[in-house]
Chain A
Amino acid sequence: EDKVVQSPLSLVVHEGDTVTLNCSYEVTNFRSLLWYKQEKKAPTFLFMLTSSGIEKKSGRLSSILDKKELSSILNITATQTGDSAIYLCAANTGNQFYFGTGTSLTVIP
């Protein structure tokens, strides 16, 4: 059965900390891995990863894919309270996107 697993399920950190969120996938016909940030509304797109070992960066966020380990990590440095959200990863297999249950991140001032 195709599945995506994220860890940890939840995380509480202080402002300024660095966090690493994990995503592992087991899907057939893997095409890409996507990260989303979900606050109290729709998920917003962060990154799409297709190639192993190539880091993508956007400000304080970065992500990398390891196809050998079937996993990806999302790093957030110098966290801010505005980073508090649920972070979702999804594996794309062409027609379908399989989402993990998300990591709930809370950043305390």
Chain B
Amino acid sequence: NAGVMQNPRHLVRRRGQEARLRCSPMKGHSHVYWYRQLPEEGLKFMVYLQKENIIDESGMPKERFSAEFPKEGPSILRIQQVVRGDSAAYFCASSPRQRQETQYFGPGTRLLVL
């Protein structure tokens, strides 16, 4: 039973480019959470999605960031016009049902903006 998959594991972008981060939840899980971890800081909640729905995006920056979780395929976290401050590790976690409190984390995508 494969765990949560994230790709790419490492992503390098120049300022102004777009970054697309993918997360495939565990089999049978329909809820996905995205977190950002800046150096020396804890995990910060960004967005909580269910298939085809954004449930809570209160942790997402208002501009340049968007997330989706389509009916088919992985969840995507998209960052447009990246800036150096976007450099961080981005983790996604999945859970099998709404309000299931045990999340399973993916290995993370480490984004470096040059």
Contacts and interface: CB of A to CB of B under 8 A. Distances in A.
Interface of A: 4, 6, 31-32, 34, 36, 41-45, 48, 88, 90, 92, 94-102
A96 B48 contact: yes
A36 B105 CA distance: 10
B101 A34 contact: yes
B59 interface: yes
Contacts of A101: 40-42
A48 B91 CA distance: 20
Interface of A is mostly: strand
B105 A43 contact: yes
Given A42-B107, A88-B43, A96-B48, 12 more contacts: A6-B42, A31-B99, A31-B101, A34-B101, A42-B91, A45-B104, A48-B102, A88-B42, A96-B59, A97-B45, A99-B43, A101-B41
A45 B48 CA distance: 19
Interface residues of B, number: 24
B35 interface: yes
Contacts of A44: 105
Contact of B108 (A32, A36, A42): A42
Contact of A42 (B33, B41, B59, B106): B106
